[in-house]
Amino acid sequence: MAGRTTRRNASRSAGADTPHSTQPFTRATTIEIPETVSCVVVRGHDQTHGYGGTAALVTLDSQEQRIVDQGTEPQAFDTEDCP
């Protein structure tokens, strides 16, 4: 099945407000997204803190984003939730 290939990079330097480390970190991955998918949900998660407080819904064609406060438990989203 043909799909979109996307590579997303995230980098952040830990600062004084981050007690765990003072070393910068980066993450990169490549994922296949089927052509039939028009919107994705992006959430942060780590072993120490679990899920972050927000999720980003991203419409792939327009790259329009909608940020949703979700607390520490991930929520389900429907197609109509996409921007």
DSSP 15-82: -TT-SS-SS-EEEEEEEEEETT--EEEEEEEETTTEEEEEEEEEETTT--EEEEE-TTSPPP--GGG-
In a domain, 36, yes or no: yes
- Residue 73 confidence class, pLDDT cut points 50, 70, 90: confident
pLDDT of residue 36 exceeding 90, the answer is yes
In a domain, 53, yes or no: yes
- Residue 62 confidence class, pLDDT cut points 50, 70, 90: very high
What's the pTM? 0.61
Number of domains in the chain: 1
In a domain, 60, yes or no: yes
**Domain range enclosing 58:** 3-14+24-75
Token pair 């979109």 is found at: 4
Average pLDDT, the chain: 75
In a domain, 63, yes or no: yes
pLDDT of residue 52 exceeding 60, the answer is yes
